[in-house]
Chains A and B, each alone.
Chain A
Amino acid sequence: MQLTLWTYEGPPHIGAMRIATAMQGLHYVLHAPQGDTYADLLFTMIERRSARPPVTYTTFQARDLGGDTAELFKTAAADAFARFQPQAMIVGASCTAELIQDDPGGLAKALALPIPVIALELPSYQKKENWGASETFYQVVRGLAQPRRETEVNPRSCNILGPTALGFRHRDDLAEIVKLLEAMGLTVNVVAPLDATPDDIRRIPEAAFNVVLYPEVAEVAGRWLERNFRQPMTTVIPIGVSATREFIAQVAKLAGLDPQSALAAGESRLPWYSRSVDSTYLTGKRVFIFGDATHALAAARIAKEELGFEVVGLGTYSREFARPVREAAAKLGLEALITDDYLEVEAKVAELQPELVLGTQMERHIAKKLGFPCAVISAPVHVQDFPARYSPQMGFEGANVIFDSWVHPLMMGLEEHLLHMFRNDFEFNDKAAASHLGHGASKPTTPGANAAPAAGGWAPEAERELQKVPFFVRGKARRNTERFAAERGIPLITIETLYDAKAHYSR
């Protein structure tokens, strides 16, 4: 039993819904109690989709449990087929239906529908949303993909696998990557699951290779296609300037093309913006990164190599991808935080006192509570992270978007200095937010004020001196000073200690 304030992922059948909702002509019949239909609003309200997800719920109630819930399922499946006339159907159970063990797969088979029916086994009490999406996509591909006709394969054709409904910027990433691939002279055979029909899935083996954009969703299917259809797949995720360049090189190699023209044509403003002198203040900013594995890994690399930040924490809730995150963290001299426990992440952020948090909607809560700037880099996200404007994370334009959205929450360089110099200005002070974030945007609490005073710790005059340090570095100053004092057995922190510590850590 796990205490959960917020969950990073939904249950696995939500992952299945993300596949079904992304596709056309596929219907999902879900054995589930009344109430589970809440999931529709993830798509219709949070993502603002204009159509209902293609999902039929049996919505059984307590009184049905004594009767025949299996019959209820069969009726629902038959009615759904008759009404929606899908090309294929997926069937499964949500957490409660799993407990009553009605076997939706077997029941659907007994209906002998004239379309492929794919049974999903998604263990709700073990697995979560991304696993459910991955398993569903794999089962759909496995169940529908047709044997390859070797002679017809165009070496410059590829599929794009991974974008789903409710994905973080999937719509725009896809547009960006299609543009990039087509500029390289490639033909995109099938994009799946987003907007693919079951017929499109059948045609997946006709391409020369697969571009896997979101390993959380499509790596398992990609590996299966590699084994069964000798279709290699890309492994580089094109988020950030360097990764996009490597992605181009990898694609060019798979397609037998020269990458040079694409690399030369590729323009991102990020490198120049990062070198521009006004970005000097970004140097060594301490960032905490948490998200799904793909976005957390990409963020860590961009933060370090492309913006000159210092990564002080790196973690993911994607246990399936813990290994690469652990490796990346180790290279940064860190221990990765692999957890789906929001409270653990919150405690880590409070301990590290970063200057910027890059995370999910949940880290946005944490950052707000603790008073740190924050940018969202990964699902789960809320309605404001499905923007109207074109806003990819991938490719060269994605790098531009990332530069803007990460730098925006921070105090600008010169303002930071002025605040340091004239800390008591009645208008521009600790309590005010960065000027460009608008008047009245309040700084809820400063991290320093939030941290509990260390036992026996600070002399009053030292505490007052600490308050003169701008809020966005005050937490760090407090933490460093306390560590400095603890290491040296200094019982009371004085102004001297504060500046000794400052000198010590400025080396």
Chain B
Amino acid sequence: MNLPFRAPSPPSCNDIPVLRERGQREVFCGLTGIVWLHRKIQDAFFLVVGSRTCAHLIQSAAGVMIFAEPRFATAIIDERDLAGLSEIDAELDRVVNRLLERRPDIKMLFLVGSCPSEVIKLDLKRAAARLSQLHSPKVRVLNYSGSGIETTFTQGEDACLAALVPFSPLPANGYVPPLLVAGALSDVAEDQFRRIFADMGLPDVGFLPARTAGAMPAVAPGSRYLLAQPFLNDTARALDERGAVHIPAPFPLGAEGTTGWFKAAADAFNIPAAKFRAATDAAHIRAKLALEPHREMLAGKRIFFFPDSQLEIPLARFVAQELGMEPVEVGTPYLHRQHLAQEIGQLPAGTVVSEGQDVEKQLDRCRDSRPDLVVCGLGLANPLEAEGFTTKWSIELVFTPIHGYEQAGDLARLFSRPMDRRTRLGV
């Protein structure tokens, strides 16, 4: 915990009490990350090797039943596979062949491990290597686990990106971009970030993941990287193992978070202060302006976060620092103290941070504290609304472009709209 905190000297994160709980966790598993990853990497396909539950989860999770042709599927393990009556390698080969015949446009295939595949110790790493050889060079086959016994919601993206890192190309000319941004961002935010980095004098920034399989950025010893998302524990470790160096930063949410994030990069590359300000000032001011109407509606309101995406701490920092809200409890599935050091340090004193979950007890605490706004998953939102709470379903915070200056107002609107709606409805 020797990372620099931002002025004015905030309370140390040790001042923030952390409530650790074990019990029923009302969270998604890592397979859910496929819902946005399959749209982000446009020539990748995600094949879950799992049970009917996995298939059902993904199609139900984010209302994706509305997509007619997704780039994901499940290879459903059946009793013959479990009883050893079928040769599981041959079965997987057959399924993958059928899939690739149907989708000849696919360049990268992820075999995604699940709870059942982990419990029966199916070796998907070996399978991926074998299938990669079979379908090379047309299709590269990688694997990661999105199982619920190992991953929570956004950790699926972490596992996916971590699997990509060892395969990031080393270009023939040896050139590697000096800066890498890790974490799937909306395309619009990514484009804005590129422009700002270019204005700062960093025209060549790699984004992981890239939008196509062939465009994944190179990583080499000495590469610097910024995390765009707070849940990338394994990805950061994989980058470290390649010799890349992490730039500690807050997360690019809201005007302040975004400026802090770019500033960390500017400092790391010794970019003159004037150049940094020229690149960011206008957007920073614009973002503050966009936040103003939401701040009027939200200032002084009390907010309760149920654990979901690990974005909770940076979001709580944003709503407290930039919108004047008062976080009552901030739940997160995991608390990565090092990556979140600059965020957690800026939470107002008295905020309860909870890690893990016992959903019934947390609901009791939520009801007792009567917050003005509850941020929670889809399983809890309508029942809490029916009890009279105003809620914001948290998955929207993952599926909406919220990063960066130009999205700061949109992010604030996600919190203000449920309150706005309450005041409008006369029924």
Contacts and interface: CB of A to CB of B under 8 A. Distances in A.
Contact of A44 (B49, B73, B382): B382
B170 interface: no
Q: Which of A35, A46, A62 is packed against the most chain B CB atoms within 10 Å? A: A35
Contacts of A65: 119, 149
Contact of A57 (B24, B88, B383): B24
Interface in B61-90: 61, 63, 65-70, 73-79, 81-82, 86, 88
| Central interface residue in A13, A44, A96, A125, by most chain B CB within 10 Å | A96
A40 interface: yes
A58 B148 contact: no
Given A1-B77, A123-B79, A41 B149 contact: no
A445 to B, nearest CB: 11
A61 to B, nearest CB: 5
A89 interface: no
A48 interface: yes
B94 interface: yes
Interface in B82-118: 82, 86, 88, 91-92, 94-95, 98-99, 102, 115-116, 118
B27 interface: yes
A120 B270 CA distance: 65
B378 to A, nearest CB: 4
Contacts of B119: 65, 96, 99-100
Nearest to B149: A62
A36 B31 CA distance: 11
Contacts of A99: 82, 116, 119-120
A35 B31 contact: yes
B53 A5 contact: no
A38 B61 contact: yes
Interface in A18-44: 33-42, 44
Contact of A38 (B60, B98, B147): B60
Given A11-B53, A33-B29, A369-B68, A383 B380 contact: no
A2 to B, nearest CB: 5
Contact of B92 (A1, A36, A46): A1
A124 B26 contact: no
A154 B16 CA distance: 67
A382 B63 contact: yes
Given A35-B57, A125-B78, A95 B379 contact: no
Interface string B29-73: 111100000000000000001011101110111010111111001
A50 B149 contact: no
Interface size on B, as a range, is 35 or more
A5 B52 CA distance: 11
A61 B56 contact: no
B394 to A, nearest CB: 12
Contact of B78 (A2, A10, A61): A2
Contacts of A95: 51-53, 115-116
Contacts of B94: 1
B149 to A, nearest CB: 4
B360 interface: yes
Given A4-B52, A96-B119, A382-B65, 11 more contacts: A1-B86, A3-B75, A7-B74, A10-B52, A35-B148, A35-B152, A40-B26, A44-B379, A48-B382, A52-B380, A124-B53
For the complex of A and B, list the 7 residue pairs with the smallest distance between their C-beta atoms, beginning with the closest.
A35-B29, A35-B148, A40-B379, A50-B386, A1-B91, A96-B115, A41-B378
24 contacts: A1-B49, A1-B78, A1-B95, A6-B65, A7-B59, A7-B74, A34-B149, A35-B28, A35-B32, A35-B152, A38-B60, A38-B379, A42-B60, A44-B378, A45-B378, A52-B383, A57-B24, A64-B149, A76-B24, A96-B51, A99-B116, A99-B120, A125-B82, A343-B102
Interface of B: 23-32, 49, 51-53, 55-57, 59-61, 63, 65-70, 73-79, 81-82, 86, 88, 91-92, 94-95, 98-99, 102, 115-116, 118-120, 147-150, 152, 360, 377-383, 385-386
